[in-house]
Amino acid sequence: MKKIVKQIFSILDKKDKKYLIFLLFLSIIISIVETVGIGVILPFIKIASNFEYIFEYSLLKDIYLLFDFHNPENFVIFIGVILIIFYVFRSIINLIYYFFLAKFSQGRYYVFANKLFKKYLNLPYKTFLRKNVSLMSKTIIIEAQNLSLFLSNLLFMVSEIIIAFFIYMFLLYVSLKITIIMTIFLGLNIFLIFKVISRKVKEAGIKRDKYQSNFYKMLNDILNDFKLFKMRKNKEEIYVKFQNFINQYAKVNILHSMFSQIPRLYLEAVSFSLIALIVIIIIFFTHNNISASLNLITMFLLALFRLMPSINRILSSYNNMLFYSKAVNLVFNDLSLKEENLGKEKVDFKNKININNLSFSINGKKILKNITLEIKKGEKVAFIGESGSGKTTLIDNIIGIYIPSDKNILVDNVSLKKENLLDWRSKIGYIPQHVYLFDGNIAENVSLEENYDESKVIEALKRAKIYDFLLKHDGIYTKIGEKGITLSGGQKQRIAIARALYNEPEILVLDEATSALDEKTEKEIMEEIYDIAQNKTLIIVTHKLSTIKKCDTVYTLSEGKIVDIARN
């Protein structure tokens, strides 16, 4: 648990830590108020039952004389009104504390989710490839929320510990012997709860993460390839498998809910036993009935009435922390991942791109081996080869998806590096094989911006030869459905071309962009791309020779090496 708390504090920023100090200070004030609330009620009952007690308490006597009360009855009424105001104040300050506690703990979900989202988007591509997208979604949506719940329970537990401490100090002052005996009795029972229940709760928390991850992965796999799912014969097996994941997750939550109630029920039984124990102790030591010690018993009853809920909340909060502790580890590990941290240096592309002895490995496997080539500005270049030959990996290095580790890629004799990679990427329009279109309108999908330039969107669509088609519908505001379900393959590809052209790139890159199209549509789109790229550098990755007839240079790759160069 100590390690987990350290991870929590490393995740929180300086402002959050200051807020924590404020909450701690507020919880101390509440603890004092709670203790005073227990301590003042018995004297009030005593003076209300016998006015002569007013003069036995020096503080009450001084107040009585200071305000010149001539009637004890009026004085008791006055004290009663003060107590009413005090208890109203007690409730208000508790409510204020719980508000700030909820604001901080629940508000952290936004902070944690935002940090995770930013972290994932800034991961190096190599790191991203090792991550599971469905688990990243789960971490943002579920684990960030669970982390805020962990933090809420931690703060709540600390608050109740402070309150319990002040009440305990008060009980020690009232009766040292009874408090020590009560401590031993309570301590043994609390230890028993920790030993039995807490271990079960921690195990349930680990299972929660496992079962939740399983059904998140399954949801992601099925919903992202829905067409394939529709064609499968074994749908019933999938339903049963998903149902099994949900059932396992539900069972874990049921166990957690049950375990969370055990401390309260157990401590209620212990509380009544304690009352009987206190009476037994008094009779044992005084060898008399309890009438003479009724005030002492009443005081302990009042203290226990407030102390037991605190102990219950401490145990419940601790068990909840154990249940959600896995979330802390998951979020901490992902927030500790190294980001790209790209600079803002500029890089000009006026003459050529040089690649010198470029080798590249992924997960220990060498994909590219000593690649050397030159691409002149305005040149039309193609890379061909069998699947797995290294074509796409080479392109990913050229366009800066991977961060260069050596001075292997130069643009006008300037090495591509972290400091200028951001500017280099902005010069490239990338058209992939699988076009991702989100559920929005055409303008949003082309610009990938909320505040887009309508004229630039229209111009890009015209150049991609799809604007006239869109005018038959709602123009740039045409809704396309999730993943572009309302568009044909060729139309999707034209949207991708428009997207690549929107920011007026200097280099156009086609990565198997037409491989899924029929021959006629592919020919039309390639003619349009060559026309669009007249004054641009064009780089094509393909396995179809029909798409590279107008290229100036064609590089053939095999097993990560350039094995042939053809020039027109």
Lookup result for tokens 């592919």: 522
Q: Hey, which bits of 71-219 come out as E strands?
A: none
pLDDT of 228 > 70? The answer is: no
Q: Hey, which bits of 130-269 come out as E strands?
A: none
> 42-56, 176-190, 275-289, 528-542: which has the minimum mean pLDDT?
275-289
Select the more confidently predicted residue: 28 or 217.
28
Lookup result for tokens 């604007």: 467
Cα distance between residue 368 and residue 560, in whole Å: 4
> 3-17, 117-131, 491-505: which has the minimum mean pLDDT?
3-17
- What's the pLDDT at 296? 66
Angle at 306 between CA 302 and CA 308, to 5 degrees: 110
Select the more confidently predicted residue: 299 or 363.
363
Mean of the per-residue pLDDT values for the chain?
Answer: 81
> If you average pLDDT over residues 281-289, what whole number do you get?
67
pLDDT of 106 > 60? The answer is: yes
Cα distance between residue 353 and residue 379, in whole Å: 11
- What's the pLDDT at 287? 66
Cα distance between residue 210 and residue 216, in whole Å: 10
- pLDDT tens figures, 440-460: 888 888 888 778 888 999 988
**Which of the four pLDDT bands, split at 50, 70 and 90, describes residue 234?**
low
pTM of the predicted structure, to 2 decimals: 0.72
- pLDDT tens figures, 531-558: 888 889 999 988 777 788 888 999 999 9
Torsion of CA 499, 505, 507, 513, to 10 degrees: 0
Both tokens assigned to 17: 């830590």
Domains, the chain? 2-335 (1.20.1560.10), 352-567 (3.40.50.300)
**C-alpha distances in angstroms, 418 versus 401, 404, 422, 523?**
11, 8, 8, 38
**Which of the four pLDDT bands, split at 50, 70 and 90, describes residue 41?**
confident
**Which of the four pLDDT bands, split at 50, 70 and 90, describes residue 90?**
confident
- What's the pLDDT at 539? 92
Amino acid sitting at position 19? Y
Amino acid sitting at position 235? K
